[in-house]
């Protein structure tokens, strides 16, 4: 590439395009499922890739955990702890490398990780998930 071409492309922002394309795509929980509660075409296309999902952190199942559940709407109580609370069908298990610092249940967060599809039972908690993020971070 010639110097002038490089400077022209850099000034136009064209050289930054590959970094933008490599960024995690932001999606909503509802976009992962069809109305029949099957994986959407979008979820299947993004499986194995880093994505960012918007939602709310449900109250953690246990202290000192590197796992939490992301929900589409705020949940004030842990559905596993309260028998009368109905657990929503549009949830996402999130596995981090570090112990989580719980956020208030009504504060929205963005969670980024590798999207995995298919049934998985966590050996430590017994939590069964159909979809999850691994190697995740949140803010």
Among 57, 55, 49, smallest CA distance to 30 is for 55
Second CATH level (architecture) for the domain 24-138: Beta Barrel (2.40)
Quote the pTM value.
Answer: 0.75
Give the span between the Cα atoms of 131 and 33, in whole angstroms.
Answer: 10
Q: List the single range of 21-35, 62-76, 112-126 with lowest mean pLDDT.
A: 21-35
Residue predicted with more confidence, 7 or 40: 40
Domain ranges of the chain: 24-138
Residue predicted with more confidence, 7 or 39: 39
Q: Does the structure show a pLDDT above 90 at 20?
A: no
What is the average pLDDT across 69-98?
74
Query: How many percent of the chain have pLDDT more than 70?
Result: 73
Based on its alpha-carbon atoms, the radius of gyration of the chain, rounded to whole angstroms, reads 18
């Amino acid at each position: 590439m010639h110097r002038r071409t490089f400077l022209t492309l850099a000034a136009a922002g064209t050289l930054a395009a590959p970094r933008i394309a490599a960024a995690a795509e932001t999606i909503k929980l509802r976009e992962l499922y069809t109305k029949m509660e099957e994986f959407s075409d979008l979820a299947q296309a993004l499986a194995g890739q880093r994505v960012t999902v918007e939602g709310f952190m449900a109250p953690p199942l246990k202290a000192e955990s590197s796992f939490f559940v992301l929900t589409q709407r705020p949940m004030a109580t842990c559905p596993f702890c309260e028998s009368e609370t109905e657990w929503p069908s549009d949830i996402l298990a999130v596995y981090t490398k570090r112990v989580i610092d719980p956020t208030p249940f009504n504060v929205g967060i963005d969670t980024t990780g590798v999207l995995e599809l298919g049934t998985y039972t966590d050996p430590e908690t017994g939590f069964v998930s159909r979809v999850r993020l691994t190697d995740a971070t949140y803010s």
